[in-house]
Chain A
Amino acid sequence: MEGLVVLDAILEKLDARDVVMVACVSTRLRSCAFDDSLWRRFCARDFGVSSPVAPNGEPCFSFKATYELWNESFGMYPLPLVKRTKQCWEGISSWLATNFPEAKDTLRKGASEAKLKLVEDTLELKLPMAMRLLYRFCDGQETVPRDTSEHRHLAPLGIFGGYEFYEHVVNVHLLPLDRVVVETREFEAALGSVKSKRVIVAASYYAEKWFFLDSVDGQLYVGSNNVSINGEAFPCVPHTLIRPRVDATWDVPQDALLLWLEEYSRRLHSGMIQVRKFRKARVINLFPEEPPSCSVAITNGVKVRASTVLVPEVSSATGDYYYAYSIRMSLQPDGCLLDGVYYQSCQLYSRHWIIKSKDVVVADVNGEGVIGKYPLLLPNGDEFVYESCTPLPASPGFVEGSFTFVPGRLTKPEGRQFKVQVARFHLEVPEYIF
């Protein structure tokens, strides 16, 4: 008995292939090597698979059979990368299942190796390995409308979320391979230059926001304002983390796409990025919900949350960077407290906004209302949210200011005006761009 325990301790340190070789030694070693509990551990170790289910979702009668099917399907990739991509993707799709099921329903099932090869041959480039693996698990979203009337209900379902300010609406979808080919070729045609080694992976409905992978340096880029003119784009992942090739220090390629997805998954799970109502639908809203990217201040019972995102598609590397910000105001349950008295409502009258870029004042605005509105706040009422956008000539910068409120209503003030602080929030080019 003890001998078997020890044999098992040795076998579990081997690769599956070596274990099958050991099975050829004798009947005793064969029964140890084919013990399904060993293969249960191999499934977990090599593929992150914890139940006997094949890649296509069919149940298997043993963990060994399960391992064989996963190995057949994914064994052409470094197994640590398979496991990591699988776990990252499952993290995102399980979050969607809980928080945004209508978007999860748009996810297509994985593409085949044959399909990936066809894409590579058609575009005449090699797809980065993590992109191939991602598309093996999911071939993008089924959100290309069959007719324009479907736009309205498909547009908000981008799994990479978006934002809106004034008339600029962004919602980023993961493209299926067929669209990847079409859009990549259109870009190449538009740019007219030497065949670039870039492939589009995600794009926005409405506004022109494009994400593409560079198959040479492995980085993920998002197109700037000038992308259709000269291909200008911003890197989305810190350069230092990327390793497109295997070498002595990294035995698994560190692909920007996978790093980007892992960071995105972290932000979804931490509540930094949440689903919010957008007109009649719901969207994944990229304005951060949590500090430190979201500043919070409460004055006299009025709570103001402020957060910002870089808007790369209207920014230019040589010109201004544009930052959209979202201001969310609400009234505490006890109401508005002023000079020792509680009031059951208050209304915004004016704003004072200061925007600084590297200590130089870019804007110092005094004006009435916000985006033409004078929000009335009630205790436990919905947050009043508005978005706006500002250019920033040089990074970093910050925004701060105050709103002037009146207790009661503007048409029937019940007390003196008071200032509500907007806690300073910072504008700087982020490490990860979503």
Chain B
Amino acid sequence: MASEAVAVKIQEGVAVDAVVPAASETSAQRKILLKSVEGEEFLVDELFARGSKMISNMIDDGFTEGAIPLPNVTAPVLSKVVEYWKHHVGKSETDKDAREFDRAFVKDASSSVLFDIIMAANYLDCKPLLDLACQAVADAIRDMNVEQVRGFFGITNDFTPEEEAAVLEENREWSNALTVTGNGQKESNEGGNIVLP
């Protein structure tokens, strides 16, 4: 493993040999080697790598030698995931920097990037990141109509005309059901889940 000539992605800005970490080092100091699908290797603090439940379990199961292969994750995506861990692992849930990072993280992410992150977070079992990315997609969808959602997911309309009519009718009924503006309910419209005609 250490004798193979591989490109080692330096995460700390300091050159480090890709060696098996000594057992006496604490998990805060120990580094784990992760390998993306292209074979690119990422050296990551064990503390951060445990941001993935899957990797954490593998470490606990004794998988400390060599690189952990992640055949479902590409290097660009893995790089983003590691960034996420560095800003979140070990921090409190209300950490201001972490929230600021999240905002920037999803802000201009394209749908394909978001989907890749969602798939990676799902595979790696990193629930907070999965939630963040799914919420970003949900927020984007919320402001869309049916055609726009199709474009966003890159999905084609495969309904028969009858099926399509039926589901559009149901959609219409749902929009209408929430346009009640009885007196006294005007304030509730500010709650956000009611559409005024």
The reply to whether the CB of A328 lies closer than 8 angstroms to some CB of chain B is no
When the two chains form the complex, which single residue of B164, B174, B183, B190 contacts A16, counting CB atoms closer than 8 Å? B174
The 8 A CB mask of B140-177 against A (1 = contact, 0 = none) is 01100110011001011111000110011011001101
Residue from A11, A14, A76, A245 whose CB has the most chain B CB atoms within 10 Å = A76
A27 to B131, CA, bound (A): 25
CB contact under 8 A between A13 and B135, given known A20-B171, A24-B146: yes
Q: Which residue of B lies closest to A246 (CB)?
A: B190
Stretch at the interface among A125-133, A142-150, A370-378: A125-133
- How far, in angstroms, from A11 to B137 measured CA to CA in the complex? 9
Select one of B157, B164, B193 contacting A17, CB under 8 A. Answer: B193
Q: Are A25 and B137 in contact (CB under 8 A)?
A: no
A18 at the interface (CB under 8 A from B): yes
Q: Is A361 an interface residue (CB 8 A)?
A: no
B contact residues around A253 at 8 Å (CB): 187
Quick check: is B188 within 8 A (CB to CB) of the other chain?
yes
Q: Please name the residue on chain B nearest to A79 by beta carbon.
A: B193
Closest Cβ–Cβ distance, residue A117 to chain B (whole Å): 7
Q: Would A28 and B155 count as touching, CB distance under 8 A? A: yes
Find out whether the CB atom of B182 lies under 8 angstroms from the CB atom of A76: yes
With contacts A76-B182, A120-B183 taken as known, whether A71 is within 8 angstroms of B188 at the C-beta atoms is: no
Residue A9 CB within 8 A of the other chain: yes
Q: B134 interface residue, CB < 8 Å from A?
A: yes
Residue of B nearest to A15 (CB): B193
Q: A29-B155, A79-B193 are in contact. Are A2 and B188 (CB under 8 A)?
A: no
Q: Residue among A27, A80, A252, A253 with the most chain B CB within 10 A?
A: A27
Query: For residue A33, which residue of chain B has the nearest CB?
Result: B167
**Minimum C-beta distance from B12 to chain A (A):** 32
CA A81 to CA B185, docked complex, whole Å = 13
Question: How near does chain B come to A68, taking the closest CB pair, in angstroms?
Answer: 8
CA distance A28 to B183 in the complex (A): 40
Q: How far is the CB of A82 from chain B (nearest CB, A)?
A: 10
Q: Does A419 contact B (CB under 8 A)?
A: no
| Among A18, A26, A245, contact of B141 (Cβ-Cβ < 8 Å) | A18
Q: Which residues of A are found within 8 Å of B142, using beta-carbon distances?
A: 14-15, 18
Nearest CB of chain A from residue B132's CB, rounded to whole Å = 11
Contact between chains at A9 and B190 (CB < 8 Å): no
Whether the pair B157, A25 counts as a contact (CB closer than 8 A) is yes
Q: Is B124 an interface residue (CB 8 A)?
A: no
Contact assessment for A23 and B190 in the assembled complex, using a CB-CB cutoff below 8 Å: no
Cα–Cα, bound, A5→B121 (Å): 12
**Binding site secondary structure of chain B:** helix
- Minimum CB–CB distance for A244 against chain B, Å: 9
- Considering only residues 244-271 of chain A, those with a C-beta below 8 Å from chain B are 245-246, 251-253
Residue of B119, B149, B177, B191 touching A6 (CB-CB under 8 A) = B119
Question: Cβ of B149: which chain A residues have Cβ within 8 Å of it?
Answer: 21-22, 25, 29
Distance of A22 Cα from B180 Cα, bound (Å): 23
B137 adjacent to A10 (CB under 8 Å) = yes
Chain A positions within 8 Å of B126 at CB level: none
The complex places the Cα of A416 from the Cα of B134 at a distance, in Å, of 79
- Least distance between B144 CB and chain A CB atoms (Å): 8
Some 15 contacts from A to B, beta carbons below 8 A apart, are A17-B174, A23-B167, A24-B168, A25-B150, A26-B156, A27-B163, A29-B149, A29-B153, A76-B188, A79-B193, A80-B191, A117-B183, A129-B184, A246-B188, A246-B191
**Which positions in B face A, CB cutoff 8 Å?**
118-119, 122-123, 130-131, 134-135, 137-138, 141-142, 145-146, 149-150, 153, 155-159, 163-164, 167-168, 170-171, 174-175, 177-178, 180, 182-185, 187-188, 190-195
A-B contacts besides A21-B149, A120-B184, 14 pairs, CB < 8 Å: A9-B134, A10-B137, A11-B138, A17-B195, A24-B168, A77-B185, A79-B191, A117-B182, A126-B183, A129-B184, A245-B187, A246-B191, A251-B191, A252-B191
**A residues in contact (CB < 8 Å) with B:** 2, 5-6, 9-11, 13-18, 20-30, 71-72, 75-81, 113, 117, 120, 126-127, 129, 132, 245-246, 251-253
